Amino acid sequence: MNHVKLTSQQGIGTIEFFTEQSNSLPAEILKKLAETVTEAGNDPSINVIVLRSGGDRTFCAGASFDELIAIKSAAKGKEFFMGFANVINAIRKAPKFVIGRVQGKAVGGGIGLASAVDYCFATKHAAIKLSELAVGIGPFVVGPAIERKMGLSAMSQMGMNPDEFFDPKWAHQKGLFAKLYDDIPTMDKAIRELAQKLAIYNPQAMAEMKTVFWKGTEHWDELLAERAEISGKLVTSDFTKEFIKQFKGKH
């Protein structure tokens, strides 16, 4: 059932990821997701990208806890968290606008994905939570994307309250969500309308606009690698292992 799929129609490339565990992201899916975003970005028949997840409840539950528990060394930990870094950087570097579709809750790395896209739609069910501190690590890799989109104050509020879901309206006010809708069909209609408009605009102009929008992030390859190393070290500690086990037991 787990998959990453790219479909293309009339200049719109739609990337869908799905895992059976609330769209949590194991390393294999992260790798495929980064590759697929890059593929869509390089495809001359695609002028705009829509990033979505399967199902209608949870957009993305963040990192796969099964894989976090299995990490035995800092090197392996860094390698895992580089999966998120690579997806964020792939979205950042894609010479096309990426539209996000957040139909439900976004946790941890899921907020990172929502922050990395260029324009994000969501429903009133899309509550968000930065749960990393509750499992003994921190939102280090996704932090730059969240801070860029929402500001340091909003990110620190979420980061210091890892057990709290923040309301979608709050996320909208803070700039994470550009548009908020009552239900999925209404949101999907709005996404189609924007994507169809963007698909006929000048690709070169949009690529130049994206470069301008992301100015100041040219060092993110190195920055996110440094952040992945921090998370990789923390995830191997006994403290973190025990926290993850307890967290899994409650959910």
> What is the β-pairing status of strands 3-9 and 12-18?
antiparallel
CA-CA distance, 74 to 235, in Å (whole number)?
8
% the chain with pLDDT above 90: 90
CA-CA distance, 115 to 180, in Å (whole number)?
15
Whether 208 has a pLDDT exceeding 70, the answer reads yes
Q: Which pLDDT tens digit goes with each residue over 127-159?
A: 999 999 988 899 999 999 999 999 999 999 999
Half-sphere exposure of 7 (CA within 13 A, CB side): 5
According to DSSP, the residues that pair with 99 across neighbouring strands are 50, 119
| Helix 74-93 × helix 220-234 angle, to 10° | 150
How is residue 10 annotated by DSSP?
T
% the chain with pLDDT above 70: 98
Q: Which pLDDT value is given to residue 196?
A: 98
How is residue 172 annotated by DSSP?
H
SS3 233: helix
Q: Which pLDDT tens digit goes with each residue over 157-186?
A: 999 999 999 999 999 999 999 999 999 999
CA-CA distance, 199 to 242, in Å (whole number)?
48
Q: Which pLDDT tens digit goes with each residue over 73-86?
A: 999 999 999 999 99
According to DSSP, the residues that pair with 166 across neighbouring strands are 128
Kindly indicate the confidence band of residue 240, based on its pLDDT and cuts at 50, 70 and 90.
confident
Mean pLDDT of 100-128: 98
CA-CA distance, 57 to 123, in Å (whole number)?
10
Q: Which pLDDT value is given to residue 248?
A: 66
Q: How many residues are given for the chain? A: 251
Q: Which pLDDT value is given to residue 134?
A: 86
Burial class (CB in 10 A: 0-12, 13-18, 19+), 113: buried
Q: Which pLDDT value is given to residue 251?
A: 60
Q: Which pLDDT value is given to residue 246?
A: 78
Nearest to 22 by CA among 59, 51, 65: 59
Mean pLDDT of 56-83: 93
Q: Mean pLDDT over all residues of the chain?
A: 95
Mean pLDDT of 193-207: 98
CA-CA distance, 122 to 170, in Å (whole number)?
12
Domains and CATH numbers, the chain: 3-185 (3.90.226.10)
Mean pLDDT of 66-70: 87
